[in-house]
Amino acid sequence: MSKENRLKFSTEVEVSDVYNILTKNYIEAITDYFELQRIWLNNAYITFNDLDKYFILMSLVSKTFDSYAEYFIKYNFDQFYNVDQYELKKFNIVNIAKELSISKETARRKILELEKIGIIKKNKKAVVINRNAYNLQKPTTSIHLISKFLSNLSKYLQKSNIIKQQISSLDLELLIKNNYTHCWNYFLKFQIDMLTKFKQKFFKDYETVQIWAMIVYNQNLALTKKFKTSNSYPDKVKDTYLSELLSLTETLGLNAMTISDLTGIPRPTVIRKLNYLVNNRFVDKNKNGLYTISNSNNVKEIDKYRIENVSKISEMSCKLFNAARIYKN
């Protein structure tokens, strides 16, 4: 190993550094993050018209990546998607159900449905994931969006002299694709853990999470526009974010048809999920049939989780920044 290529721990990006940058530039960062989540969830739903099945598949993909890491195997993006099938050892329905906070019966039924459409094949305690499954979930757009998100963060890290220069979105895309099974697993684990806990704490299923997130996304766009127009960002906006969003509820909102069009979820299903959200004071419906965030104790509890989640976003981002530092050559 040459002197130039030796790992320098002194140049590691710290989670606390990323957290501080996220906090100081919260509106810009969270807007990029929401766009990433919107596209990822919408594409996830469209894949199977069922987020439970998609999360089961992602869990199996992540476990495949874990198996590779155990044997010091790493595939780039093209290598991974050019192989016909992958076998995952020690497949267990109970563990999948527990990880995704679904019943064992639901997990079993969804896995049987994945088998029927040829995505996976189960043999005793082993499962083979067909290449068709990976083609269905190629995350090209998501890789682009997370690279944009991280590149913008790196701009502020550079301004704070934490890193020497901003990392371009293109360089980050190449990093993730060239070290795909290693780097993308950071993102998959983050998504599965964060969205499942969000569902478990507040909502009954992933589709309700997706609909709630779309309503928040819409109000966040209006808030971002407001701040850009005034060219004024309040101090500690991370902590006052909910009150800022609630200040806009009287002037905007989404109807059920628009939410259906944006998410791909059928309108009757959207209406049923919206009724749950209204009845539990997560959203309000005005006289024009528009849905906005509710000023309720339930929403305030969600906001506490949002603030906690900044730490999780920082951890995931930090791992990818440090991977970029290692793999850039």
Whole-angstrom distance, CA of residue 91 vs CA of residue 29: 37
pLDDT at 3 over 50: no
> Residue 225 — pLDDT band, cuts 50, 70, 90?
confident
Contacts of 188 (CB under 8 A, 6+ apart): 58, 61, 62, 65
- Name which residue leads in pLDDT, 251 or 86: 86
Domain range annotation of the chain: 3-49+136-327
- Name which residue leads in pLDDT, 324 or 172: 172
Whole-angstrom distance, CA of residue 34 vs CA of residue 285: 23
**Mean pLDDT, rounded, of the chain:** 88
Q: Is-contact 60 115, C-beta < 8 A?
A: no
Whole-angstrom distance, CA of residue 150 vs CA of residue 158: 12
pLDDT at 328: 59
What is each CA distance from 289 to 139, 140, 181, 263, 285, in whole angstroms?
35, 36, 45, 18, 6
pLDDT at 232 over 90: no
Q: How many CB atoms lie within 10 A of CB 68?
A: 16
Tell me the angle at which helices 26-48 and 256-263 cross, rounded to the nearest 10 degrees.
80
pLDDT at 186: 95
- Name which residue leads in pLDDT, 218 or 91: 218
Between 3-7, 54-58, 60-64, 97-101, the lowest mean confidence (pLDDT) is in 3-7
Angle at 311 between CA 307 and CA 314, to 5 degrees: 125
Whole-angstrom distance, CA of residue 76 vs CA of residue 238: 36
Amino acid type, 266: P
Mean pLDDT, residues 208-214 taken together = 96
The pTM for the full model equals 0.90
The SS3 assignment for 289 reads coil
pLDDT at 228: 80
Report the largest interatomic distance among the alpha carbons of the chain, rounded to a whole angstrom.
69
pLDDT at 134 over 70: no
pLDDT at 124 over 60: yes
Number of helices (H), then strands (E), belonging to the chain: the values are 15, 5
Q: Is-contact 291 284, C-beta < 8 A?
A: yes
The SS3 assignment for 326 reads helix
Whole-angstrom distance, CA of residue 189 vs CA of residue 238: 24
Burial of 103 (0-12, 13-18, 19+ CB in 10 A): exposed
DSSP string, 26-55: HHHHHHHHHHHHHHHHHHHHHHHT-HHHHH
From the list 38, 71, 67, 43, the residue with the least C-alpha distance to 127 is 67
Whole-angstrom distance, CA of residue 311 vs CA of residue 267: 35
Whole-angstrom distance, CA of residue 193 vs CA of residue 296: 25
pLDDT at 117 over 90: no
Whole-angstrom distance, CA of residue 281 vs CA of residue 274: 10
